[in-house]
Amino acid sequence: MTGEDSDVLLVLADAFRRQSDGLRREVFRLLVEETRRVAMRSRHYLTTQCLDTPNESAWVILYKYGTDINFLNATSLTRIAFGNLLRRFVGFYYIPRLQPRGRPFKLRFHHQVLGLVLCYYTGSMELGTLCMLFGVPPITLARTLKREEEALTKALINFRPTRISWPSPTRQVELAKLIQEREPLLEHTFGFIDGKTSR
């Protein structure tokens, strides 16, 4: 073996050692990252044991005893409007009866189901917060939300209180006068929709 060959072998051995050290560090980093991910998932995963039962949840207390303002903040509807929508919603969302054998459904009342979808749309709550508010595990929440959205979409079709109607020209003038009395700088304005002034 010549001197050049031994130099080449030394360079190759050094490169191989550096590569295997880098590989070992990368594998270790990936293992640590995966362990951290598993720990975060198991640490923050909600189970039924750590949740209130749905019939004793914060939503049920709000529904039974909450003030109108609390109800409006949670669902963006007044109690009367919620009741009207609930009566319509019942016809589009089926909750099966309790079976003598088998597990009972988590959300057994239509007000829980409708409240869940309205809180989901209205609030900027994370799914974990909704799970705690309604006392349902994440998988039940996701499955129920999908069915609820479909039922709510069907319930809102041709539902008179949810239609958007433009005021007649005479009503626009009346509304503009009312607004101008309250805000003198706003002339010929009869309403605001999402920050857009309608004139």
pLDDT beyond 70 at 166: yes
Burial state string for 36-74 with b = 16 or more CB within 10 A and e = fewer than 16? eeeeeeeeeebeeeebbebeebebbebbeebeeeebbeb
| Average pLDDT estimate for 8-14 | 71
- The answer on 113 and 24 residing in a single domain is no
Q: What is the pLDDT of residues 50-87, one digit of tens each?
A: 677 777 888 889 999 988 888 888 888 889 989 999 99
Query: Domain end: 13, 28, 44, which one?
Result: 44
DSSP 197: E
96 and 145 share a domain?
yes
Are 126 and 153 members of one domain? yes
Residues 124 and 184 in one domain: no
CA atoms of 73 and 48, how far apart (whole Å): 27
Alpha helices by DSSP H, 45-137? 58-65, 68-75, 79-90, 110-122, 127-134
- Domain count within the chain: 3
Mean pLDDT of 185-190: 73
Q: In this structure, are 56 and 123 located in the same domain?
A: yes
81 and 127 share one domain:
yes
How high is the pLDDT of residue 44? Answer: 56
pLDDT digits (tens, 9 = 90+) for 124-155: 777 778 888 888 888 788 888 888 888 988 99
Do 69 and 124 fall into the same domain?
A: yes
Average pLDDT, rounded, for the chain? 79
Q: Are 60 and 113 in contact (CB under 8 A)?
A: no
Shared domain check, 76 and 155 = yes
* Residue 67 and residue 152 in one domain: yes
Residues 6+ apart with CB under 8 A from 162: 156
Residue written as tokens 């923050």?
A: 44
Together in a domain, 60 and 85: yes
* Domain coverage including residue 21: 3-44
For residues 58 and 148, membership in a common domain is answered with yes
The answer to whether residues 58 and 128 belong to one domain is: yes
